[in-house]
Amino acid sequence: MTEETVAIYETCNKQYPQAPFDPPERFPECPRDRSGLDPGNEVYVAVRDTFRLLGMDSGHYGDAKWNPLGEFITPEDDVVIKPNLLYHYHPEGRLDAMTVHASILRAVIEYVFIAQEGKRRVTVAESPVWTADFKKLLDDSGISQMIEYLGDLGVDVEVIDMRETMLARSFESPKPPRILRLAGDPAGYLTVDLGSDSEFHGLEIDPRDYRNSMTNVTHNESVCRYKMPRTILNADVIISLAKLKTHVMAGNTLSLKNMVGAYGEKIQLPHYRVGSETSDEYPSLPIMRGLKRTMVKKLFKVFKSFPYSEKIGPVRSFVAKVTDESWNEPYPLWGMWYGNDTVWRMALDLNKIVLYADKQGMMERNRQRRTFAVIDGVVSGEGRGPIRPKPRNDGLVIAGRDFAATDLVATRLMGFDSWKIPILREALSSKDHRVTKVTEAHEIRCVSNREKWRRIWQLRKADLLNFEAPLSWRDHIEL
């Protein structure tokens, strides 16, 4: 397997199995005879077959010694699985369109366990959004049940919420939101300074213009500091489990963007900037439209500070209207448009840290960690992602060693032009501390159980999946 190879597996039924997501048969490499079977679990087969398609440990495929992830994981390695578990709520109850499904996570955990020969605890770590109820997310997604089940089988899995705080809101009580102190990363945190290697370096912009909370102390002309969880820095291997979906601030969100959740406090990360001359929050506005936008944002903030107020009909209608894309066109709020020039910088900075920062938080010339990417597109999300995407049943699992290479293939599948997705364009053109070994998409070889996807670079637009882009990105990122 080379870093320029990406596997695409397309399932037949395009649906997820039920917890605890047992394999459909007793594969020879799986040592636990006590595990049950789920004959309809094609997702397990899809994950397993992406490893086969990539040629991982091909000499032992089909026998008990097959150890595909052993190509880059040793029994002594600390491995962190970083799934996209963004939020606990979807307006249509479709968590499966927004978060990585537990059945994908189950299969990856199994093969990490094999690679580690059961000698180490498997770590699953995520930093969801500030308002996320992580326990509810784990329970509702079936992850809690699956982790308990694996524990009974002798597979030790630790799930870490790397946030230090969360904002607890209730729509059922008039109590205002509360900031709660969480346990955080049990290994602690360490500040990493990217300095001049940051994608923000050299911009003649007041850091205080950034939202959410960059300051001129942490980000200025000489420093660019990020407070990183030590669980990430202590890892030898990072496995990204991303969701195949769109994103209102980034175009789409895949493996590279998934590393934003490797940061402890997302609320502290810059997502857009305000300011009369340097704003990338929205396109230039007529004066009166700008004043109206300012008033709407302030009123929206007041109502969101008292979620119970949304039980009042006019308030509920106002909140729904403001968060509707069609109302926000052509002047979107909060940096949710194709001109956002901030999110890609922040995401690439975090990818540089994940790859090059050593365990003491010092940036090195050589990579400090091995990586692997899996993208869950069995049920994917289009339109107003990442939190309100419309579900679509695509039946795909995509995998590869290089985050950017895997994302380039997934972006092509979505029917988007990777050169119009800022994080991919800049990843390919960066020079220092490169986050990919690929220089252009056509270097990537695709392997698949479907002949069609092996020719992905030759396919016409009509033969691709053609996702619906977020409204404020529409007609700007499609092929």
pLDDT at 171 over 80: no
- Per mean pLDDT, which of 194-203, 218-227, 330-339 is the most reliable? 194-203
CB count within 10 Å of CB 248 equals 29
Q: By the 8 A CB rule, do 47 and 372 touch?
A: no
pLDDT at 160 over 70: yes
H/E element holding 330?
none
Of all residues in the chain, the percent with pLDDT exceeding 90 is 70
Q: Is residue 212 part of a domain?
A: no
CA-to-CA dists, residue 309 to 315, 319, 404, angstroms: 7, 10, 43
Q: Is the peptide bond before 20 cis (omega within 30 degrees of 0)?
A: yes
Distance CA 167, CA 307 (A): 12
How much is the average pLDDT of 36-58?
A: 97
pTM confidence score: 0.94
pLDDT (tens digit per residue) in 275-293: 656 778 877 666 555 666 6
pLDDT at 217 over 50: no
Distance CA 67, CA 167 (A): 42
CB count within 10 Å of CB 420 equals 17
pLDDT score at 321 = 67
Q: Is residue 219 part of a domain?
A: no
Place of tokens 């969480």: 182
Tally the domains of the chain: 1
Distance CA 83, CA 124 (A): 7
φ and ψ of 56, to 5 deg: -75, 125
CB count within 10 Å of CB 277 equals 6
Q: Is residue 370 part of a domain?
A: yes
Higher local confidence (pLDDT), 284 or 388: 388
Domain extent, residue 348, equals 5-194+224-267+341-473
Q: Is residue 383 part of a domain?
A: yes
Q: Is residue 425 part of a domain?
A: yes
User: CB burial class (10 A; 0-12, 13-18, 19+) of residue 408?
Assistant: buried
Q: Is the peptide bond before 91 cis (omega within 30 degrees of 0)?
A: no
Q: Is residue 186 part of a domain?
A: yes
Q: Is residue 295 part of a domain?
A: no
Q: By the 8 A CB rule, do 149 and 105 touch?
A: no
Query: Mean pLDDT for the chain?
Result: 89
Coil/strand/helix, residue 165: strand
pLDDT at 461 over 70: yes
How much is the average pLDDT of 238-248?
A: 97
Q: By the 8 A CB rule, do 78 and 122 touch?
A: no
Higher local confidence (pLDDT), 206 or 267: 267
Least confident of 141-155, 156-170, 214-228: 214-228
How much is the average pLDDT of 64-89?
A: 96
How much is the average pLDDT of 56-62?
A: 97
Check residue 145 and report its DSSP letter. H
pLDDT at 305 over 90: no
Of all residues in the chain, the percent with pLDDT exceeding 70 is 86
User: CB burial class (10 A; 0-12, 13-18, 19+) of residue 415?
Assistant: buried
Higher local confidence (pLDDT), 232 or 196: 232
Token pair for 261: 């959740």
pLDDT score at 330 = 57
pLDDT score at 248 = 93
Higher local confidence (pLDDT), 19 or 298: 19
Coil/strand/helix, residue 149: helix
pLDDT at 196 over 70: yes
pLDDT score at 448 = 98
Going by pLDDT thresholds of 50, 70 and 90, the confidence category of residue 32 is low
Coil/strand/helix, residue 302: helix
pLDDT at 116 over 90: yes
pLDDT score at 327 = 60
Least confident of 26-30, 286-290, 329-333: 286-290
Q: Is residue 299 part of a domain?
A: no
